[in-house]
Amino acid sequence: MPFRITCVCLGNICRSPVAEAVLRQRIALAGLADEVVVDSAGTGGWHVGHDMDPRSRTVLDVHGYPHAHTARQFNADWLGTGAADLLLAMDAANYDDLLALVGRAGSPVSLRMLRSFDPELAHLQAPDPRLDLPDPYYGDAADFDDMLSMIEKAADGLVGGLPGMLSER
């Protein structure tokens, strides 16, 4: 069974679908696509069934990341079914929400903040707000570019550590 990573933000239309697309490409380039599956979800349900924000789609297109997306809400039932091995929270609020769900479920799933994989931030412990991936929803195109840059740094760190995570399973 593949190692399953779920990227989680608030609405699953900006940050987590971009993180999903970047991670998928980086994982494929590392030759791990058969061993690692990536998806995304939101802690809130108000965008369920929608495509990602057009600005997220644009930043992915401009930078050559393939993508297909339909927003979903994270479901605590996933914790007991093996649907996720690693949850990646985009910010401290999502981290806290997921931590509560994981605790109630008694799930063995690992929970990390995405940016904790950025080598420059690896010394910080979640839910340190310096690990937050700022939500660009109310921003402009530059905020979406900044978001992508932060995701890419973290994705490179995560993919570099995947062989170790896979061998520990």
Q: What pLDDT, in 10s, does the model give residues 85-135?
A: 999 999 999 999 999 999 888 788 999 999 999 999 999 999 999 999 999
Q: Whole-angstrom Cα distance, residue 169 to residue 163?
A: 10
The answer to the question of residue 41 being in a domain is yes
| Orientation of helix 141-167 relative to helix 15-29, angle to 10° | 50
Is there a domain that residue 93 lies in? yes
Interacting residues of 28 by C-beta distance below 8 A, sequence separation 6+: none
pLDDT of residue 154: 98
State the Cα torsion 116-85-167-112 to the nearest 10°: 10
Quote the number of domains for the chain: 1
| 135 in any annotated domain | yes
Q: Is 14 a catalytic residue?
A: no
Nearest-angstrom CA–CA distance, 151 and 50: 22
For residue 107, give both structure tokens: 């799930």
Q: Which domain holds residue 90?
A: 3-158
Q: Are 84 and 6 in contact (CB under 8 A)?
A: yes
The verdict on residue 126 lying in a domain is: yes
**Model pTM greater than 0.95?**
yes
Q: 132 an active-site residue?
A: no
Residue 164 in any domain: the answer is no
Using CA atoms, how far residue 64 sits from 18, 58, 59, 60, in Å, is: 12, 10, 9, 6
pLDDT score of 107: 81
Q: Is 169 inside a domain boundary?
A: no
Percent of the chain with pLDDT over 70: 100
Residue of 9, 24, 26, 132 marked active site: 9
Can you give the CATH number for the domain in which 33 is found? Answer: 3.40.50.2300
21-70: pLDDT as tens digits: 999 999 999 999 999 999 999 999 999 999 999 999 999 999 999 999 99
Residue 69 lies in a domain: yes
Candidates 7, 14, 15, 26; catalytic one: 15
